[in-house]
A and B are shown apart, each in its own frame.
Chain A
């Protein structure tokens, strides 16, 4: 006799779309405006290879000013080679994700440079150990669907960061790993050892369990370094996100629609470059629209407008028949608290309900993405679970209408021990882990803990007792030996 493993009834991949911030007409207007910006203003591309590629593919390129302009018809034709659905695999196939239609997956984000100490709460520069612990925590938390590498190992030399960050993540979770990259060599070496893990390059490309992020700068710039990395990432053959993060009011217009217009131009630029260099390359329409608090100029990751704009990205990306990468759940709070809770919930819920495919940054990040908090991962695991429950919606059928059951129980009866209740209690209700629903007396007897303290207990328990499915020992030895700059000792 033992514990029962309950199946997660609200897993990733449920179909959203109940919330539609834009009408068809509004989407069309945003598209037309974006096309006009592409044609009249263009984007600045600070990489010779990319400029040439755009030129050879038929865009209007001013090599002196490094400006690329393009017309609607050309843009739509070039992006049409991009896949409508992209599958991101996990080392374990149960964690595979098919980013299609309005199907929803929600995961973590990066790259924070600090981590809050789980014992003292003190904010410290993040290390490679924090990457490993965050990956392990996420591997254990059932509602977080993938791992975008959480933080920056401050103690390592720049040239060694990529290979160690990715290995720290891959080693500690069998969920899909995506991460930002800092060097071309890093991208190449990561790809090499990923081939080793997969059992060959063909197998890796067939089922890529990792992917890269390379950024576009707002407003309208493809940066020299990032574009070089973008090209290296395309050459790796692995899936790619090319996010752009306009801040409404400072690096994009002080209006939501204007920010979406500019963001659409930037997001399409990344898709265009990948499709020109490697037609059919798996790429995401990658969006991080944010706002500025115009009272101070402060950057806002947790504003409600940010949630609305990211939710709109599911509709805009589907207009272009592209899978999307969006952003929610990150917040401005300096510690896991009420603010981190309500800001995280508001933006994640909007994006989930609108059917965003790959909602990142939605677990563990606080302080506008500058810090990770282990408690926040546990809290966000509950928040994401609640959001996925809402995505599933209200089922109405003969079973759920329960007319016979009501008749069976009758006036003044109760439904607690009815078979119908048992049959539906998992599929109809989400059960929070962190939320306290006990009586006040019991709560007091258990130490009168608040939500953060309860989350801390869960995080500690996982980090103490949970062991992920590590990478095969023999392969690991080979990787640690042959990859330059690899750390040799890893968390057990």
Chain B
């Protein structure tokens, strides 16, 4: 059985979606528990992916496909998961702010966070403060992530935070910002947290969740 778990981890590391699904199903048939499959197989593989990515051995597209593979395995064991088997990393709400249509950086951060076990709701681009306030009320996320590519639209991050304050929501959600023009200083001034790339965004999110 241990061999099988290792093979699942290996399949996740290889980003082999079909193989991950097949092996996970095999483990289920052999009466492995969801927790075992998760901790000794799927997550073990994904953790190794994280280590190799940090060392520069794995590239972003490979991490994303490994995340897909892990998710495929998750779908297989979902019906078997009991309360307390999984600690969800957290729930994130993401948006590119009003007036701004750029979103590849935000998508990358979203995907990396999903790979790290977060649930991510993406509101898309050109998102007004009002829309974000409504979404925070509705989804009650742990983290709100805002992205801007232009210096001219960056100010809408601040406007959104003010709108959250006016609605009494600013204390209820941690705020992350990112994008080319954003600096750590700016983030601090508007009461947000900064990370400079997708990898450090995951680290920041983990820190904020503690």
Contact = CB atoms under 8 A, between A and B. Distances in A.
Given A1-B9, A3-B52, A416 B60 contact: yes
A419 interface: yes
Interface string A269-309: 00000000000000000000000000000000000000000
Interface stretch (B61-69, B77-85, B138-146, B151-159): B61-69
Interface stretch (B19-27, B104-112, B127-135, B168-176): B104-112
B15 interface: yes
Nearest to A438: B197
A421 B63 CA distance: 12
Contacts of A438: 196-197
A441 B196 contact: yes
A118 interface: no
A351 B104 CA distance: 38
Contact of A1 (B10, B108, B111): B10
A422 interface: yes
Interface string B193-204: 000110010000
B31 interface: no
Nearest to B9: A1
A448 interface: no
B48 A1 contact: yes
Contact of A417 (B58, B61, B184, B196): B61
Interface string B76-105: 000000000000000000000000000010
A425 B61 contact: yes
A439 B104 contact: no
B161 interface: no
B45 A422 contact: no
B107 A414 contact: yes
B102 to A, nearest CB: 11
Contact of B68 (A1, A414, A417): A417
A161 B59 CA distance: 47
Interface in A408-467: 414, 416-419, 421-422, 425, 438-442
Contact of A422 (B52, B61, B104, B107): B61
Interface in A1-24: 1, 3-4
Contacts of A3: 52, 55, 57
A422 B111 CA distance: 16
A245 B58 CA distance: 45
Interface residues of B, number: 26
Contacts of A414: 104, 107-108
A4 B57 contact: yes
Contacts of A422: 15, 59, 61-62, 65
A159 to B, nearest CB: 48
A416 B64 CA distance: 8
B5 to A, nearest CB: 12
B196 A442 contact: yes
Contacts of A416: 60-61, 64, 104, 107-108, 111
Contacts of B52: 3-4
A439 B107 CA distance: 18
B61 A439 contact: no
A3 B54 CA distance: 12
A438 B198 CA distance: 11
A409 to B, nearest CB: 12
B43 interface: no
A484 B6 CA distance: 57
A4 B13 CA distance: 11
Contacts of B196: 438-442
Most A C-beta atoms less than 10 A away, residue of B6, B58, B68, B196? B196
Nearest to B13: A1
Given A1-B45, A1-B48, A3-B52, A425 B59 contact: yes
A417 B48 contact: no
A408 to B, nearest CB: 15
B59 A419 contact: no
Nearest to B14: A4
Nearest to B64: A417
A417 B197 CA distance: 17
Given A416-B61, A422-B62, A439-B196, 10 more contacts: A1-B6, A1-B9, A4-B57, A416-B104, A416-B108, A417-B65, A422-B65, A441-B196, A442-B197, A442-B200
Interface of A: 1, 3-4, 414, 416-419, 421-422, 425, 438-442
Interface of B: 6, 9-10, 13, 15, 45, 48, 52, 55, 57-62, 64-65, 68, 104, 107-108, 111, 184, 196-197, 200
9 contacts: A1-B6, A1-B9, A3-B52, A3-B57, A417-B64, A422-B65, A425-B59, A439-B196, A442-B197
